[in-house]
Amino acid sequence: MCRSTGTSARTPRVALSEQRVGEFLSALGARTPAPASGAATALTAALAAALVELAARFAGDDDVALRANEVAARLTQLADEDSEAYTAFMENRTYETRQRIIAVPNEIATLADEIAERAVAVREKVSPSVAGDADAAAELARAASRIARQLVGLNEGGSN
């Protein structure tokens, strides 16, 4: 969320969950303030959650699969919320808008931590052929958590 503005023109946004991957990648690479690293981080954590869901289904752990699915859905929402929060902050730098650009990546980090823990736990219950998916989930979730916490620190810092 630390991208400088290339333009302040507001265009209607399509929810990230409704975009094709290529569309999201194009939007991410555009010279606009959002979507940026926060949205990418949320979607990285959502991918990790989906991999945990997959591994949990192979492990026969319906509770973990359900929770991973719920977390993936929330992380996808957070990707949109991050873009919206940062756009609002760039348009009006108030205490409230700054708090939102702190709260969103903080929630992303918390959920990513949960997914990393669940990935490690479910890995013990799956065959070696599925263990790689659990390992990938854990690594993606850890990376997402680390980046989201960095974003919190940057956004708390004052000048964006």
- Phi, psi dihedral angles at 20 (to 5 degrees): -75, 155
DSSP one-letter code for 14 = P
Positions in the chain whose pLDDT score sits under 50: 1-11
C-alpha 40/C-alpha 25 separation (Å) is 9
pLDDT at res. 25: 82
pLDDT at res. 27: 83
C-alpha 19/C-alpha 1 separation (Å) is 20
pLDDT at res. 129: 93
Cα–Cα distances in angstroms (integers) from residue 7 to residues 4, 30, 31, 47, 90, in the given order: 9, 10, 8, 30, 10
